[in-house]
């Protein structure tokens, strides 16, 4: 009886690990002021950003590989880590270069749910870029980042590094 119970617990642990690794997020285009759902753009799964194919987001080519707070370009179709693309430090997203992701110019400054364009190596705050409300990303307008038209709709749990990398591609 104890052996059967141990096997059951082991099976549940393995299945929950497989399920946790298989979780994915799909990023769709969004339209209008309320974020009507459009076609799938990107699919994020197992630490990689893939191009989405079709309306429901079938996994396409691997574009980026996420390693903690650093995002690397994919070196091949098997999601191997290539050259550095972006890194997150403090409240900013920076471009990076090389295999060790050496920090370069600032791309975004993050203030709560508002994202501003960044400038220079010290991440000076520029014009408003995006506003995030729940699972919808809106364009931002003006110096105070007023919410404009919806741009992206997110299904699933998306890491902040993946979201910022996707926004940098827009």
Please report the DSSP string for 70-110 in residue order.
Answer: EEEEESSTT--EEEEEEEEETTEEEEEETTTTEEEEEEEEE
**Res 119 pLDDT > 80:** yes
> Which residue reads 């690397």 in tokens?
72
pLDDT computed for residue 170 by the predictor: 83
pLDDT computed for residue 142 by the predictor: 86
pLDDT computed for residue 22 by the predictor: 53
- pLDDT, averaged across the chain: 85
Burial of residue 29 (CB within 10 Å: 0-12, 13-18, 19+) is: middle
8-12, 22-26, 32-36, 64-68, range with the lowest pLDDT = 8-12
β-strand partners of 124: 119
Tokens of 141: 């307008």
pLDDT computed for residue 105 by the predictor: 93
pLDDT computed for residue 56 by the predictor: 74
| pLDDT single digits (tens) 140-159 | 998 889 999 999 999 999 99
pTM over 0.85: no
| pLDDT single digits (tens) 64-99 | 999 999 999 999 878 999 999 999 998 999 999 999
**Res 21 pLDDT > 70:** no
Question: Of residues 103 and 55, which shows the higher confidence score?
Answer: 103
């Amino acid at each position: 009886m104890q052996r059967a119970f141990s096997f059951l617990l082991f099976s549940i642990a393995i299945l929950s690990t497989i399920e946790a690794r298989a979780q994915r997020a799909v990023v769709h285009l969004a339209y209008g002021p309320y974020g009507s759902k459009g076609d799938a753009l990107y699919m994020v799964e197992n630490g990689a950003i893939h191009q989405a194919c079709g309306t429901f987001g079938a996994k396409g080519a691997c574009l980026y590989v996420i390693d903690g707070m650093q995002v690397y370009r994919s070196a091949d179709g098997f999601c191997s880590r290539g050259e550095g693309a972006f890194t997150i430090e403090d409240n900013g997203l920076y471009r990076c270069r090389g295999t060790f992701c050496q920090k370069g110019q600032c791309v975004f400054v993050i203030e709560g749910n508002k994202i501003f364009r960044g400038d220079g190596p010290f991440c000076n705050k520029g014009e408003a870029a995006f506003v995030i409300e729940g699972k919808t990303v809106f364009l931002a307008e003006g110096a105070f980042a007023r919410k404009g038209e919806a741009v992206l709709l997110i299904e699933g749990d998306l890491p902040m590094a993946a979201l910022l990398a996707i926004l940098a591609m827009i």
